Amino acid sequence: MKYCTCESCRFTFRYPILPPACIDCGEGPVRNATDEEIEDYHRKQKILQAKIMSSLYAGASA
Ligand SMILES: [Zn+2]
């Protein structure tokens, strides 16, 4: 899997190949993510995971 970043919307995502267009906004160009962007991607994934977990718990207690 590659780490790709869209120049149009700055979205970073993992994909088997470097796609010609962004999977989020459908534009581009899409280039290889920098180390900094890859770090940021992992940070966001963790936050997302935490949000999913807390919403699951919130749902269970409601
Ligand atoms: Zn995009």
In this predicted model, what pLDDT tens digit does every residue of 38-55 receive, in sequence order?
999 999 999 999 999 999
Q: Looking at residue 58, what is its pLDDT?
A: 82
Residue 40 and residue 46: Cα distance in Å, rounded?
A: 10
CA distances from 1 to 4, 6, 17, 19, 29 (A): 9, 16, 7, 12, 18
Distance 62 CA to ligand 1 centre (A): 36
Q: Does residue 62 carry a pLDDT above 70?
A: no
Distance 54 CA to ligand 1 centre (A): 28
| Mean pLDDT of all residues in 31-39 | 98
Q: Looking at residue 35, what is its pLDDT?
A: 98
| Mean pLDDT of all residues in 20-28 | 96
- Single out the residue of 18, 61, 43 nearest to residue 5, CA to CA: 18
Distance 13 CA to ligand 1 centre (A): 10
Q: Looking at residue 57, what is its pLDDT?
A: 85
Distance 52 CA to ligand 1 centre (A): 23
